[in-house]
Chains A and B, each alone.
Chain A
Amino acid sequence: MKRTHENNYAVYLLTHELMHVIYKKVPLIDLKAAQLIVQDRMYLQEGKEMPVLCDIRDVRTINKAARDYLAREGSLWIKALAFLIDPPVTDDLSIFYMDTNPSKIPTASFVSKSEALAFLAKHTS
């Protein structure tokens, strides 16, 4: 099973064991964007809990309403979450997000995709 999907804010690559979300380069992720991002991810996952790899390297601004939505409503069906980052901007952005939105989902950020995948594998086996 391999599926891809795209909306204005993100590209989704879905295999049977991983949901890979690549955020597009947009000026702002606001609440409307966050809702669509979550809606499409849930639609693709069809109720299946999965590890999620989130490539946020092109994200620059994500406002509070969007952060709150992603942290609460947007945390369903996620087994583990790895952010793919490019320091310093997205590194600090992910640190800020993780620190201000404590979650029970194992979450960490990585510069290298292989390390991110290893983290997800460790937390979903």
Chain B
Amino acid sequence: MENNDDFRVKRIKKMLLEMAKGNFFYTLEPSDRNDNIASLVVMLNMVSEEIRAAFIHQGFANAHTTPQCIIQLSLILDDRGQIELVTNGTCSLLSYLPKDLIGKPITEFMTEKSRERWTKKLSKYLKRERSETVLFLEFLTNEGLVLAKDCQLSVYQALDGSGQKILLNTVFFSKGEPFETGLPKKTLKVTKGTKEHKVTLTPKDIQIIRGVHDAIINNLDKDLPSLKELAHQEGTNEYKLKYGFKQVYGTTIFRFLIQERLRMARTLILHSTHTIKQIVQMTGFKSKTHFSRAFKDKYGRSPSELRS
């Protein structure tokens, strides 16, 4: 039945409906097939991932008006992995009622891959009295969509002497009112003070800002012209470029440039035989001291430490 086209299209529609509600955390199970529906599934999963990233970024970068819902997936399991407690959020995410979940093994709601990983890893963690780890798990909802996320697992000893328990936890972000039932009561509003400049950006402005972003990435070794010059070159003004960039990408042009240069430098330090002096030049830094300090700030280790 799962290979039937009707069934596959139905799944895609379910996924689209979730996206329309602002839930970008579901994915569709990919298949090995190479046909148009498989292709659509691949695209849809990638689109959803891109929106998810943009959407969380926006939420934290300039969320003056965007309400954010955090939905927590939380379960308590016994040492055999049987579900003892679920939160409402968990039920909504998985589209099951609590009674469908409680008493069942958690593996029943996972993809096969995750089931294997779970079984393999868990026995190791249960050997210790207490342990904590992060495990990438894929859950299957009642509607056949996949929920994939890094989950925090904490193994602890129950105080009543009933043995080991497992707390499984992760969060998802959503916009607006994602579920008909079990709605999270608190919405999180992120504000970054009142001083922030807000510019109104037209689609053309955003296009220009994206162009600047791409030009920076593709010219990391070159000097960046002054903001004023850059704005003139691109047909906008300094104010719009400066604050518009911050609004769209959540960071200033200068910080973004440094961050991208450091990423390139890190790759070169790890995988090339160039000397650090050469790398400093190749990545457009003016002084080795400045480079080393910025590098250590970002990656916690100095360039030479990373090399050795």
Q: Is the CB of A43 within 8 A of B42?
A: no
Q: How near does chain B come to A83, taking the closest CB pair, in angstroms?
A: 14
Q: What are 30 of the A-B contact pairs (CB < 8 Å)?
A: A27-B30, A27-B113, A39-B271, A43-B271, A46-B273, A47-B272, A47-B273, A47-B274, A60-B31, A60-B38, A61-B45, A63-B49, A72-B217, A73-B263, A73-B267, A76-B267, A76-B268, A86-B34, A88-B35, A88-B39, A89-B35, A89-B39, A91-B39, A92-B39, A93-B39, A93-B42, A93-B43, A96-B46, A100-B50, A102-B218
A38 / chain B contacts, CB cutoff of 8 Å? 267, 271
Asked whether A92 and B43 contact (CB < 8 A) given A39-B270, A39-B271, the answer is yes
Q: Cα distance A52–B305 when bound, in Å?
A: 31
Please report the total number of B residues contacting A with Cβ < 8 Å: 31
Q: Which residue of A lies closest to B38 (CB)?
A: A89
Q: Is the CB of A103 within 8 A of B273?
A: no
Interface size class of A (residues with CB under 8 A): 20 to 34
A window 71-93: CB within 8 A of B: 72-73, 76, 86-93
B32 at interface by CB-CB < 8 Å: yes
Q: Cα distance A39–B38 when bound, in Å?
A: 30
Q: Is the CB of A64 within 8 A of B49?
A: yes
Q: Is the CB of B271 within 8 A of A42?
A: yes
B53 at interface by CB-CB < 8 Å: yes
A104 at interface by CB-CB < 8 Å: yes
Q: Is the CB of B49 within 8 A of A89?
A: no
Residues of B within 8 A of A (CB): 30-36, 38-39, 42-43, 45-46, 49-50, 53, 113, 214, 217-218, 260, 263-264, 266-268, 270-274
Q: How near does chain A come to B52, taking the closest CB pair, in angstroms?
A: 8
A90 / chain B contacts, CB cutoff of 8 Å? 34
B49 / chain A contacts, CB cutoff of 8 Å? 63-64
B270 / chain A contacts, CB cutoff of 8 Å? 39
Grouping DSSP codes into helix (H, G, I), strand (E, B) and loop, the B interface class, with mixed when no group exceeds half, is helix
B30 / chain A contacts, CB cutoff of 8 Å? 27, 60-61
Q: Cα distance A60–B43 when bound, in Å?
A: 10
Q: Is the CB of B50 within 8 A of A64?
A: yes
Q: How near does chain A come to B138, taking the closest CB pair, in angstroms?
A: 10
Q: How near does chain B come to A38, taking the closest CB pair, in angstroms?
A: 7
Q: Cα distance A64–B272 when bound, in Å?
A: 25
Q: Is the CB of B42 within 8 A of A76?
A: no
A63 / chain B contacts, CB cutoff of 8 Å? 49
Q: Cα distance A47–B31 when bound, in Å?
A: 37
Q: Which residue of B lies closest to A25 (CB)?
A: B32
A73 / chain B contacts, CB cutoff of 8 Å? 263-264, 266-267
A104 / chain B contacts, CB cutoff of 8 Å? 218
Which of B31, B42, B53, B268: most chain A CB closer than 10 A? B42
Q: Which residue of B lies closest to A40 (CB)?
A: B271
Asked whether A92 and B42 contact (CB < 8 A) given A86-B34, A103-B218, the answer is yes
Q: Cα distance A42–B269 when bound, in Å?
A: 11
A86 / chain B contacts, CB cutoff of 8 Å? 34
Q: How near does chain A come to B8, taking the closest CB pair, in angstroms?
A: 13
Q: How near does chain A come to B120, taking the closest CB pair, in angstroms?
A: 16
Q: Cα distance A102–B213 when bound, in Å?
A: 10
Q: Is the CB of B53 within 8 A of A60?
A: no
Q: Which residue of B lies closest to A60 (CB)?
A: B30
